[in-house]
Amino acid sequence: MASTTETKQKKMLILKSADNDEFEIEESVGVQSETIKNLVEDGFTFVPLPNVYTKALIKIIDYLKKHANKTDSNDEEIKTFDKDFVNTTFDDLFELVSAANYLHISCLMNMLCQTIADRIKDKSPEAVRKIFHINCDYTPEEEAKIRKANAQAFEGQFDESLD
Amino acid sequence: MEFSGLLVKLLLLPSPAVERKRERSHGGRENGEMVDEGDGEMEAAGSVCRRKKWERKREERRRPVDGRKKWRKGEENGERVEATGGGGLVREREGEGRAAEDSPTTSWPIQDLLELSLPTSEAPSKSKKKSKEKVSEPTSGASYLFFDGGSGLLDFTIAEALKWKYAGPPAASLVQYSQPSAEHFHAADPALHQGISQPLLIEESRELRPAEHGLTTTQNSSATRNDDIPEMLSFFCGKGRRNIEPPVALQLAKNLTWIGGADDRGEMSVHQTPKNHVRQVLLIFSLVCGATGVVLLAVSVLKGAWKDLPEELVHNILSPLIGRDFAALQAVCKSWKSASTTSFAIRTPCLLMCSNDTSTLHYPISNSFVVGTDNDLGDLGDKSLFISNAATFVETISAKGAEKKVYLPCFRGRGNKQMALFYCLATRRYKSFGADWAACSYTCLYESTRPASTTWIKPVSHHLITSCNDPQFEFTSW
């Protein structure tokens, strides 16, 4: 009985994505994000998130829910969840990382940054440029200079794959 | 020593991470087991002493210090003893296992020297370049300056540095065992890097602060005047003036309304037609622009457009990367380079940065500089440089083949294959003693491990250096 009354009393928050989709989550879940926490502390229950698209928000809410009821017993479960969570395309990862950055969810940020870093490890600058959709803004001379300065780093083989 | 292994001395300074009571062992135990030794009271007193010293040192770091001001070390042994005594840190060294070293009986951690702000009459503050010229001690072939960005600035000549004997430890805490145990070492992990980045930041912020000598005056003057100004303003140009309405502005505004209204009445029809044309042109133009904008936006969203990733985000992504990847990815684009350079220095666990003319070595972890006065660090004679987070010093090396090297507080390899890492000035390569004499690869540098606390590593015997399959480490801590 006690638990049901507790759930009824739980404050709910409404998150609105950039695509105007609304999501209702428990306050205790939402406050893992610093951005939401600050708004909640200011008395808001409706949180518009103009920088977060629905696709990323759904995943992030999943993540927050999972991590909100973190105990010692479901540690393994959360680890597998996290593994699946980051097992996605680079573009999704980038979307998630910028959403997590906006929402200030540090544990998610760290995990995503670590994942991206792990995945771009051993990749050549050219491959990384393609992955990140970055145009090289170096002149050939400048690039040659950098390569020369870090000559040791450019020894050996690079991984040229894009995933 | 009966072991035919490399005998390396480690001097461990307490660091905040290692503030907990460190276990001690002695007597070259093969199994690496650590045993408490020495009498308990002495130990306890020593640790209190150490803690105090550490706290004071932290105080020292936080104090705003003029970046150019050097904490000049006293020339005389006696001076130092006196001042150290004032700090309550005089320690007698029995010098067991350090018999090779001549003189001083009193020793102290190098950081203590920072507290001896003994402004000599000649020049307490001068720029780095200036002091570079100034140092020319005849006693040694080359002179070096030591800047320690982490714990203040050191300005020592080689002759002075040689007098220090790098703060020998009290004999009671001599630690010796065969293999470095895992808990004494951190792998080069991000947490450690973050901890180490702190001194660097302090050093940077110090530059912005007012000079120490000017501090009081500045504070006094600013504290008195600034707050009075609003009051004075309201006193002199009080309420009356603010309530006056500027009549000119009112007239103009009326005129404007009237002109605007004329359109409706058709009185100024001459202007109407071109206005509509302009409006149409503008409308079409804005529509075209808008459409292009939308297309561009869509394209950029589809493509990810991660070029515009905020720098802090790039920094976050790049920060777990070390070594080759980190260096290689600087070639991606300019913003990545700028995002990475700030952390690059901190993230290279043992990389020394040599200036082009080889006269300056930079140890980025503690932001220490070593500046050679004769424009060539290669000529160290029979001396070697010992670099660590707290301070850097030069010492004569009795072991043949071990001189002219820069010893870093790092180990190469893992587990029981750990070897002390050093930089050979002659060959300009990172190397380690032991079976694997070959120069270290770039990757192996980054995979090096560092002792958890401030440590100097010193090879002590020649025959152990040349034939060592079973490396011996001697830890000395205080």
| Residue recorded with tokens 């700028």 | B338
Q: Over 90: is that where the pLDDT of A10 sits?
A: no
Q: Per-residue pLDDT averaged across B345-372, rounded?
A: 56
Please give the Cα distance from B145 to B153 (Å, whole number): 10
Please give the residue of chain B at the shortest CA–CA distance from A110. Answer: B316
CA distance A42 to chain B (A): 27
Q: Quick one: B328 exposed, middle or buried, by C-beta within 10 A (0-12, 13-18, 19+)?
A: buried
Q: Look at A124 and B328 and tell me if their CB atoms are within 8 Å.
A: yes
Amino acid at B277: H
User: Chain A closest CA to B452's CA: distance in Å?
Assistant: 24
Side chain identity, residue A58: I
Q: pLDDT tens, A79-128? A: 899 999 989 988 888 889 888 888 888 888 888 888 888 888 788 888 88
Cβ within 8 Å, pair A133-B305: yes
How confident is the prediction for chain A on average, in pLDDT?
84
d(CA B23, CA B35): 7
Residue A124: per-residue pLDDT: 86
Residue B227's pLDDT is what?
A: 40
pLDDT of residue A59: 92
A132–B306 CB contact, under 8 Å: yes
Type of residue at B371: V
Q: From residue B127, give the alpha-carbon distance in Å to each of A43, B66, B212.
A: 55, 11, 15
Contacts of B442 in chain A (CB under 8 A): 152-153, 155
Q: Is B328 on the interface with A (CB under 8 A)?
A: yes
What residues of chain A lie within 8 A of the CB of B316, using their CB? 101, 109-110, 113
Instruction: Give the tens place of pLDDT for each residue, B291-319.
Output: 666 655 554 444 445 556 676 777 777 76
Which range, of B47-56, B438-447, B454-463, averages the lowest pLDDT?
Answer: B47-56
Sheet holding A12-16, edge to edge: A22-26, A12-16, A46-48
CB contact under 8 A, A158 and B328: yes
Which whole-number Å values give the CA distances from B214 to A105, B69, B126, B211, in the listed order?
A: 44, 13, 16, 5
Residue of A nearest to B442 (CA): A152
How far B346 CA lies from chain A's nearest CA (Å)?
A: 16
A-B Cβ pairs (cutoff 8 Å, strict): 94
Q: Do A123 and A160 form a contact (C-beta atoms < 8 A)?
A: yes
Cβ within 8 Å of A, B 35-64? none
Write down the pTM of the prediction: 0.39
pLDDT digits (tens, 9 = 90+) for B75-102: 333 333 333 333 322 233 333 333 333 3
Provide the token pair at B448: 């090096």
CA distance B318 to chain A (A): 6
B260 pLDDT higher than 90: no
Residue recorded with tokens 């593994």? A83
- pLDDT value of position A60: 92
**pLDDT at A64 exceeding the cut of 60:** yes
Record: contact A94-B442, CB cut-off 8 A: no
Q: What per-residue confidence (pLDDT) applies to A147?
A: 81
pLDDT at position B423 over 90: no
> Is residue A106 exposed (0-12), middle (13-18) or buried (19+ Cβ within 10 Å)?
middle
Instruction: Flag whether residue A79 sits within 8 Å of chain B, measured between CB atoms.
Output: no
**pLDDT higher at A161 or B180:** A161
CB contact under 8 A, B313 and A101: yes
pLDDT of residue A136: 83
**pLDDT at residue A61, rounded to an integer:** 92
Q: Give the residue-averaged pLDDT of B465-469.
A: 40
B333·A135 Cβ contact <8 A? yes
Count of C-beta atoms within a 10 Å radius of residue B53 = 21
CB contact under 8 A, B325 and A150: no
Residues in chain B within 8 Å Cβ distance of A124:
328
> Is B329–A150 a contact, with Cβ atoms under 8 angstroms apart?
no
Cβ neighbours of A133 in B, within 8 Å: 303-307
The minimum CA-CA distance between B315 and chain A, rounded to whole Å, is 9
Structure tokens at B430: 């990172």
Higher pLDDT, B435 or B99: B435
Most trustworthy range by pLDDT among B45-49, B248-252, B336-340? B336-340
pLDDT at site A71: 82
Query: Which residue of A148, A152, A157 to mutate against B (max B Cβ within 10 Å)?
Result: A152
**Residue B254, exposed/middle/buried by CB under 10 A (0-12, 13-18, 19+)?**
exposed
Smallest Cα distance from A138 to chain B, Å: 6
* Average pLDDT taken over every residue of chain B: 47
Lowest mean pLDDT across B143-152, B374-383, B411-420: B143-152
Interface test with A, best of B297, B316, B344 (most A CBs within 10 A): B316
Residues of A in contact with B317 (CB under 8 A): 97, 113, 116-117, 120
Chain A interface, mutation test: which of B299, B306, B441, B442, most A Cβ atoms within 10 Å? Answer: B306
What is the structure's pLDDT at A57?
92
**CB proximity A113 to B under 8 Å:** yes
Helices and strands (H, E) in chain A, number of each type = 9, 3
Number of CB atoms found within 10 A of residue B5's CB: 20
Please compute the mean of the pLDDT values over residues B46-75 and round it to a whole number: 43
Distance from CA of B177 to the nearest CA of A (A): 36
How far does B325 lie from chain A, in Å, by closest CA? 6
Residue of B nearest to A95 (CA): B304
Q: Which pLDDT value is given to residue B364?
A: 59
Query: Average pLDDT of B443-459?
Result: 62
Q: In chain B, pLDDT over 90 holds for what percent of residues?
A: 0
Among B50, B53, B34, smallest CA distance to B42 is for B50
Q: Which pLDDT score, from 0 to 100, does residue B25 have?
A: 36
Higher pLDDT, B184 or A28: A28
Burial group, residue A42, by CB count within 10 angstroms (0-12, 13-18, 19+): exposed
Spatial neighbors of A22 by CB under 8 A, at least 6 apart, are A14, A15, A16
Query: Quick one: which of B400, B415, B397, B408 has its CA closest to B432?
Result: B408
pLDDT of the residue at B196: 31
Output the pLDDT for position A58.
93
- Most confident range (mean pLDDT) of B72-86, B199-213, B277-291, B305-319 is B277-291
Distance between CA A124 and CA B336 in Å, rounded? 14
∠ Cα B311 B316 B320 (to 5°): 140
Q: Which residue of A has its CA nearest to B443?
A: A153
